[in-house]
């Protein structure tokens, strides 16, 4: 801005001093030099230089006061124009605090022994499901020795116990290792954790999660803002659809791997629409990075997702998503108010100054006065209720 603006106004000031010599009778050099100096004072871009960044600082400050951390002022601009909010389910719209509801194991297996092995394996994971199993089973049995522990992204965990293969995860994990089972997982509206041991299907655990208190308010506010909503989750489709229908989320997809989430977001972006993705798990990091604005839940969120995200909601409340959009919109509005005020006042006083109708006092007001007004306007965002 300065590279273009400064040479132009300096050149105009020189012309105001010199040109009248050829065009005006009774030319007085000191009079036209004074007008040129008034013109230069008026044209000083302090109001713009101060008020525009200050508007964004005000927006970032207002957001942080409400528990929303923006990692840059450019994200305030982008989030103000968001057309789609895509969200994860577990830990984002639901509490992420699972509880084991039922344990259904085949009679030929020792229930206590299987649960102890599952608990020991799940202790290798930080997933909320693992915490639920640990809370249900209790203390980890240190006598159980695990070998070749492997986390299979989007599926579950695999390990060797007593030289036999132990699998704990969703039913896609069972399919991946060709484990045959005699139930239809799509008929159960709960999160299911399947267990296989020594190439045999052992049974499953049903785990339930509760919807966050402000989740419904979040979706209602996003609808008022004309923002489309989509839920993407690695959880089974029946659970995802149940939560989506209850909240009124327009589109919902379950049984997704991390790369499937990425592909779904790419599909939305292919329509030239802006996308904000909200997630918390380590599996969400790739899609958070891909979206126009990546939003992470700061309490339950993994370090990788928080690091990748552009916006962090510190208290994990989804209702802060529409609040962040509103703060972005108000910040943008105030910045444009300051730009308009600065340019209009300066343009009027510049014309008056060049014509000799404005003195140095008007010039000072057009510079310092407008800058102060713009600062006060920018500070106003701190007092707004969102």
Catalytic residues: 88
Sign of CA dihedral 349, 351, 356, 357: negative
**Three-state SS for 53?**
helix
From residue 354, give the alpha-carbon distance in Å to each of 47, 185, 227, 340, 347. Answer: 20, 80, 49, 21, 11
Q: What angle do CA 268, 270, 276 make, to 5 degrees?
A: 40
Cα distance between residue 287 and residue 190, in whole Å: 25
Cα distance between residue 217 and residue 300, in whole Å: 20
Strands (E), 76-169: 84-87, 99-105, 146-152, 156-161, 164-169
Q: How many CB atoms lie within 10 A of CB 269?
A: 15
Cα distance between residue 118 and residue 214, in whole Å: 34
Q: How many CB atoms lie within 10 A of CB 342?
A: 24
Count of positions (residues) in the chain: 386
The strand pair at 146-152 and 228-232 is best described as unpaired
Half-sphere exposure at residue 250, Cβ-oriented, CA atoms within 13 angstroms? 11
Cα distance between residue 346 and residue 350, in whole Å: 6
Cα distance between residue 1 and residue 367, in whole Å: 17
3-state secondary structure 17-48: HHCHHHHCCCCCHHHHHHHHHHHHHHHCCHHH
From residue 295, give the alpha-carbon distance in Å to each of 7, 12, 71, 166. Answer: 42, 47, 10, 35
């Amino acid at each position: 801005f300065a590279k273009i603006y400064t040479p132009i106004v300096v050149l105009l000031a020189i012309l105001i001093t010199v040109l009248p010599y050829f065009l005006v009778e009774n030319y007085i050099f000191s009079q036209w030099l004074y007008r040129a100096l008034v013109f230069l004072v008026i044209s000083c871009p302090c109001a713009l230089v101060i008020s525009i960044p200050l508007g964004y600082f005000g927006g970032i400050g207002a957001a942080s006061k409400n528990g929303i951390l923006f990692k840059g002022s450019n994200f305030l601009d982008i989030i103000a124009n968001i057309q789609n909010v895509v969200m994860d389910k577990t830990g984002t719209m639901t509490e992420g605090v699972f509880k084991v509801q039922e344990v259904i194991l085949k009679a030929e297996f020792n229930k206590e022994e299987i649960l102890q092995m599952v608990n020991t394996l799940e202790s290798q994971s930080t997933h909320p499901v693992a915490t639920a199993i640990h809370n249900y089973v209790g203390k980890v049995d240190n006598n159980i020795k695990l070998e070749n522990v492997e986390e299979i992204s989007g599926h579950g965990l695999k390990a060797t116990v007593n030289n036999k293969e132990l699998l704990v995860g969703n039913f896609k994990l069972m399919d991946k290792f060709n484990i045959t089972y005699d139930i239809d997982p799509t008929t159960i509206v709960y999160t299911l954790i399947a267990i296989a041991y020594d190439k045999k299907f052992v049974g499953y655990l049903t785990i339930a999660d509760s919807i966050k208190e402000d989740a419904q308010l979040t979706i209602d506010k996003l609808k008022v803002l004309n923002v489309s909503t989509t839920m993407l989750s690695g959880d089974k489709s029946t659970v995802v659809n149940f939560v989506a229908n209850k909240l009124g989320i327009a589109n919902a997809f379950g049984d997704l791997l991390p790369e499937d989430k990425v592909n779904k977001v790419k599909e939305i972006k292919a329509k030239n629409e802006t996308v904000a993705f909200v997630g918390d798990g380590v599996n969400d990091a790739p899609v958070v990075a891909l979206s126009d604005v990546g939003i992470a839940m700061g309490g339950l969120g993994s370090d990788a997702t928080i690091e990748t995200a552009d916006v962090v909601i510190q208290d994990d409340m989804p209702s802060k998503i529409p609040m962040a959009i509103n703060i972005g919109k108000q910040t943008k509005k105030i910045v444009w108010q300051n730009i308009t005020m600065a340019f209009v006042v300066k343009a009027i006083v510049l014309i008056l100054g060049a014509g000799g109708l404005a003195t140095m006092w008007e010039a000072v007001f057009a510079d310092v006065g407008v800058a102060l007004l713009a600062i006060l306007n920018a500070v106003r965002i701190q007092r707004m209720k969102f």
